[in-house]
Amino acid sequence: MENEREGVTVAVDVRPVPRVAVVVFLLRSQKLLLGKRRSAVGDSTFALPGGHLEFGESFEDCAAREVKEETGLDVNKIEFLTVTNNVFLDEPKPSHYVTIFMRAFLRDPQQVPQNPEPNKCDGWAWYEWDNLPKPLFWPLEKMVLSGFNPFPGV
């Protein structure tokens, strides 16, 4: 497809492409932070905070930014854990994400999560790894079933 913009012809590719997401296992003692999604992808399932990698951004900066935007929390000790390939063809809005999973900790262990984007999430809470809520967002469910564990030294 071609677009006329200020006298310049710009080629626009309208085919769907995979996108990059950065999501965060935010850990506090033996618990991690999850929220129930309000979204065209994975609606009403429990998921990690996270979102789209912006142009020029590092994984660590994206992780800290998304956690801050979605929960108000400040994190540190941000590290890369793993990456998975997630194709969502059966969702109301089909999409494909390469999802980068990071780990982080609270800068201040007393800080309490807020829910500044109530249209995207029902609210955040800490859950024990051995007693996770159901249903989990399936990319996360897939990892749990594979035996993945985000806690250090496991």
Q: If binding means CB under 5 A, how many residues of this protein chain bind Mg ion?
A: 1
Nearer to ligand 8DG, 7 or 16 (CB): 16
Report the partner that residue 52 touches, choosing among ligand 8DG, Mg ion, none (CB closer than 5 to 8 A by kind): ligand 8DG
Question: Which is nearer to Mg ion, 109 or 118 (by Cβ)?
Answer: 118
Interface positions, 83-102, toward Mg ion (CB under 5 A):
none
Contacting residue, 33, 34, 45, 51, with Mg ion by CB under 5 A = 51
**Residue 139 interacting partner from ligand 8DG, Mg ion, none (CB closer than 5 to 8 Å by kind):** ligand 8DG
- Nearer to ligand 8DG (CB atom), residue 10 or residue 128: 128
Phi, psi of 146 (to 5 degrees): -80, -5
Nearer to ligand 8DG by C-beta: 10 or 82?
A: 82
Within 13 Å and on the Cβ side, how many CA atoms surround 128? 2
- Do 154 and 146 form a contact (C-beta atoms < 8 A)? no
Q: What angle do CA 112, 117, 121 make, to 5 degrees?
A: 85
What does each C-alpha distance from 56 to 38, 53, 60, 70, 116 come to in angstroms? 28, 8, 12, 21, 25
Helices (H), 1-154: 59-71, 138-145
Chain residues in the site for Mg ion (CB under 5 A): 51
